[in-house]
Structure 1
């Protein structure tokens, strides 16, 4: 990919952090060049991780819109699957989290801190329930919009 076409992400770290660094909000630890969940405490530098900063700023990277008659009839079941996707993704990648699930015109809008979680949710719903799936990346920014309808 050419440099002038690289997506801009204002929440991506511009430099390596001192180690260990702990997020003051969620407790994730930056070690060996990546964010991870760590059980043990101990002294650490304090910052706010990119996911918590996105949550604080209400600036999602992923938008998953859920709608349709099937969704309306199976809303609770489908939202449980969405939450299980988040648990699985977040266990390995602390920066991938759901920001909010909000009602939207007869459906729901799931906002996420990262595009990977949004894509994982969309693929899980498509695999489990079929339906119509549309994905669109925003040009110039690292944002994914997905619409699932059934």
Structure 2
């Protein structure tokens, strides 16, 4: 049976290969059911099954949210690499788009935050607490400035690597 070569980051599923069990994210919400939980670092509240920006309820349980745990452990869920001649010429404009997108996403989803923005081998490396934010940043850059976008998922580690170049 001839095998087709998939693009990098794409995992083909063959009928001869059994499905792998879904691995739980060790940073997923572990708050107690029926009890409001407040993150002591960022003050986000876990209520109704998700983290939200709400006033702190009285007698709430205190536990770090998954985003603050990732920041504390320095273990990002997303990496976004920005590089290229266009990026170097428009660095501040591109970074403003990244920061504005993070503020917009964080307002609705407290777990979607930037961790670091650091120089990295001919470009910039942005790390995020959530894989969805990393992907959103890449797609926003492609939409606004075009360029080349590659997105690679690692389902075993709940990790995404995004590479944008122009």
TM range (shorter): over 0.9
Which residue of structure 1 aligns with residue 154 of structure 2? 138
Gaps of 5+ in 2: 1-12
Distance in 1 (CA, whole Å) between partners of 2:65 and 2:31 is 13
Which residue of structure 1 aligns with residue 130 of structure 2? 114
Corresponding residue to 1:26 among 42, 59, 84: 42
Corresponding residue to 1:53 among 51, 64, 69: 69
How has the CA–CA distance of structure 1 residues 41 and 8 changed in structure 2, closer, same or farther, with 3 Å as cutoff? closer
Gaps of 5+ in 1: none
Instruction: Map Cα deviations across residues 85-124 of structure 1 (whole Å, 9 max, x no partner).
Output: 1011111110110000000112110000001100110010
Corresponding residue to 2:96 among 66, 80, 105: 80
C-alpha contact (below 8 Å) 2:35/2:60 kept by paired residues = yes
Corresponding residue to 2:110 among 84, 88, 94: 94
Cα offset, 1:137, TM superposition? 0.4
Q: Give the SS at the match of 1:4.
A: coil
Higher relative contact order (CA 8 A, sep 6+): 1
Cα offset, 1:140, TM superposition? 1.4
Q: TM-score under structure 2 normalisation?
A: 0.84
Q: TM-score under structure 1 normalisation?
A: 0.92
Larger helix proportion of the pair: 1
How has the CA–CA distance of structure 1 residues 3 and 14 changed in structure 2, closer, same or farther, with 3 Å as cutoff? farther
Which residue of structure 1 aligns with residue 144 of structure 2? 128
